[in-house]
């Protein structure tokens, strides 16, 4: 089919780097056991489904979102244990917050452009947001065992003076929770050059500690730290609700670039409802954590699995001899997992698996065993 000349010319108005990109790809999952995106496997009990449906059905969806957003912010602050003097910023998932952070800090510098820095391999949205919003991105390689390379981080911070430094705590896709003293050293290094640190705690429900305790205990040392979380792993991946906690002065500046009404009344009320039943979600997270180590042990015992890394999230990273072949064979057996090999050279032949229910994990293990 011939493309009209006007369309070809119009296409040139789109940035060349955007035209060269590939869109974020979500694997079709119909009819498959979905173990590739670290979702909470538990649905709401029937009675709570009905109660939530009644709440959502009664909303005035003909009106823009209003005061209930303030209710949600306070509930999130209480749930997380936000330090005194904090404010909460809401986002359509943490992805939008990452975009807002880049937007707010993308300004000319003496060296050319503002810089974003993060350990790599890490969350793909960090470098993507830097590219789209006009920041330079500096990735600092982890060690081969996915530990933080503290001297390399400190050197990169001193050299590049990043506006934003991301620390995923725990990290995606490696599920690593780095030592507290090393993370604090990174935070101190960023403080010395006058930058922001964003502690990305997307997987906080499954980790043994949170940086919020450090923010509570030593607010002065963490005055340039922002804590970012999402309710996706909490159990609301479909509701798209992320939030950022930090000092009022910083959050108020970031709030200026937030689109008006970015959180729908449906998302807001769903999140309020979930926080009213936080004990249920805590039980679900505990059930997932209880299945994590048995899954790691079983993976370690499989012939053809070269290495399995420890996990502080609801995912497990492992290395096999041919990740692409293993993933394809598992898909043919009805199980969808993530081949992360192309994300970074350190991830060669690595698969990332979601930790699910005992039954889901057993099905995934059987498919992997047959696929190796």
Residue 119, both tokens: 């350990």
Do 203 and 160 lie in one domain? The reply is: yes
pLDDT of residue 2: 82
Query: Is 55 within the bounds of a domain?
Result: no
Residues 158 and 102 in one domain: yes
For residues 106 and 237, membership in a common domain is answered with yes
53 found inside a domain: no
Decide which of 212, 245, 276 is a domain's last residue.
276
| Shared-domain flag, residues 257 and 306 | no
- CATH number of the domain bearing residue 351: 3.90.1150.10
Looking only at Cα atoms, what is the longest distance across the chain? 64
For residues 176 and 240, state if they share a domain.
yes
Tell me: the pLDDT tens digits for 150-170?
A: 999 999 999 999 999 999 999
pLDDT surpasses 90 at 24 = no
Domain span at residue 362 reads 5-46+279-371
Q: Is residue 52 part of a domain?
A: no
* In the chain, beta strands by DSSP E: 33-34, 86-91, 108-109, 112-113, 115-120, 136-141, 164-168, 196-200, 225-230, 242-247, 305-308, 315-320, 335-336, 338-339, 350-354
- CA distance linking residue 266 with residue 83, whole number of Å: 28
In tens, the pLDDT along 321-336 reads: 999 999 999 999 999 9
Whole-model pTM: value is 0.94
Both 208 and 308 in one domain: the answer is no
Say yes or no: 235 and 334 in one domain: no
For residues 189 and 227, state if they share a domain: yes
Q: What is the CATH number of the domain that holds 174?
A: 3.40.640.10
- Band of residue 244 on the pLDDT scale cut at 50, 70, 90: very high
218 shares its domain with 263 = yes
Q: Where is the domain boundary, 252, 276, 300?
A: 276
Residues 272 and 284 in one domain: no
Choose one of 251, 276, 301: the last residue of a domain: 276
**Residue 81 above 80 pLDDT?**
yes
pLDDT tens-place string over residues 268-292: 999 999 999 999 999 999 999 999 9
* 242: nearest Cα among 268, 265, 212: 268
Structural domain tally of the chain? 2
Judge if 198 and 326 occupy the same domain: no
Is residue 8 within 8 A of residue 338, CB to CB? The reply is no
pLDDT value, residue 28: 80
Give domain status of residue 144, yes or no.
yes
3-class DSSP state for residue 209? coil
């Amino acid at each position: 089919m011939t493309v009209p000349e006007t369309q070809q010319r119009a296409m040139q108005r789109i940035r060349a780097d955007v035209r060269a990109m590939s869109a974020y790809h979500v694997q079709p999952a119909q009819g498959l056991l979905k173990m590739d995106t670290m979702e909470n496997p538990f649905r709401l009990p029937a009675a709570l489904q009905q109660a939530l449906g009644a709440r959502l059905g009664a909303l005035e969806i003909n009106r823009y979102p209003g005061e209930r957003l303030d209710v949600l912010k306070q509930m999130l602050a209480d749930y997380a244990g936000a330090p005194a003097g904090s404010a909460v910023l809401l986002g359509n998932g943490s992805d939008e917050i990452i975009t807002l952070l880049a937007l707010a800090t993308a300004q000319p510098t003496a060296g050319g452009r503002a810089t974003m820095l993060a350990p790599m391999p890490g969350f793909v949205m960090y470098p993507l947001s830097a590219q789209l919003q006009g920041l330079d991105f500096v990735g600092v390689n982890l060690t081969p065992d996915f530990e933080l390379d503290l001297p390399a981080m400190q050197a990169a911070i001193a050299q590049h003076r990043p506006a934003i430094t991301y620390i995923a705590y725990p990290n995606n896709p490696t599920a690593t929770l780095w030592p507290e003293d090393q993370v604090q050293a990174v935070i101190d290094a960023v403080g010395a050059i006058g930058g922001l640190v964003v502690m990305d705690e997307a997987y906080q429900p499954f980790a043994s500690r949170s940086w919020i305790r450090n923010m509570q205990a030593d607010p002065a040392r963490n005055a340039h730290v922002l804590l970012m979380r999402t309710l996706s792993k909490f159990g609301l991946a479909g509701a798209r609700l992320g939030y950022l906690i930090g000092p009022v002065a910083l959050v108020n500046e970031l709030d200026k670039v937030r689109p008006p009404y970015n959180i729908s009344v449906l998302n807001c009320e769903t999140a309020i409802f979930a926080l009213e039943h936080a004990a249920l979600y805590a039980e679900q997270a505990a059930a997932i954590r209880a299945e994590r180590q048995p899954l790691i042990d079983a993976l370690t015992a499989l012939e053809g699995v070269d290495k399995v890394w420890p996990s502080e999230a609801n995912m497990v990273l492992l290395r096999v001899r041919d990740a692409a072949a293993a993933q394809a064979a598992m898909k043919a057996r009805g199980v969808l997992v993530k081949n992360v090999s192309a994300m970074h050279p350190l991830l060669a032949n690595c698969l990332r698996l979601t930790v699910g229910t005992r039954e889901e994990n057993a099905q995934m293990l059987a498919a992997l065993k047959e696929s190796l």
